[in-house]
């Protein structure tokens, strides 16, 4: 990442074996030069029965599982910081 920028990823991952997978991500990107901060929030969720096509080992790893979950809700905000 270039100088003057920052990136934060907050991830909540919930797995109820055989029932549900849920991943809630908040990404925050800031630019010191423009004084803007962007916040992206995503909720991804699926029932296990809808993930039968996915390798079960991938569902145990949050860094691999989230990409198989459909986006249920998303919100993007841009804030100017003076």
Yes or no: say if 19 and 48 are a contact pair by the CB < 8 Å rule: yes
Yes or no: say if 65 and 21 are a contact pair by the CB < 8 Å rule: yes
pLDDT on residue 4: 80
Is the pTM higher than 0.85? The answer reads no
d(CA 66, CA 58): 9
Q: pLDDT tens string for the chain (82 positions)?
A: 567 889 999 999 999 988 999 999 999 999 878 889 999 999 999 999 999 999 989 988 988 999 999 999 999 999 987 7
């Amino acid at each position: 990442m270039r100088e003057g920028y920052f990136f934060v990823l907050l991830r909540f991952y919930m797995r109820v074996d055989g029932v549900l997978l849920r991943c809630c991500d908040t990404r925050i990107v800031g630019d010191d030069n423009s004084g803007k901060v962007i916040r992206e929030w995503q909720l991804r969720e699926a029932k296990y029965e809808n993930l039968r096509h996915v390798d079960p080992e991938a569902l145990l790893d949050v860094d691999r599982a989230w990409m198989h979950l459909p986006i249920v809700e998303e919100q993007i905000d841009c804030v100017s910081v003076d």
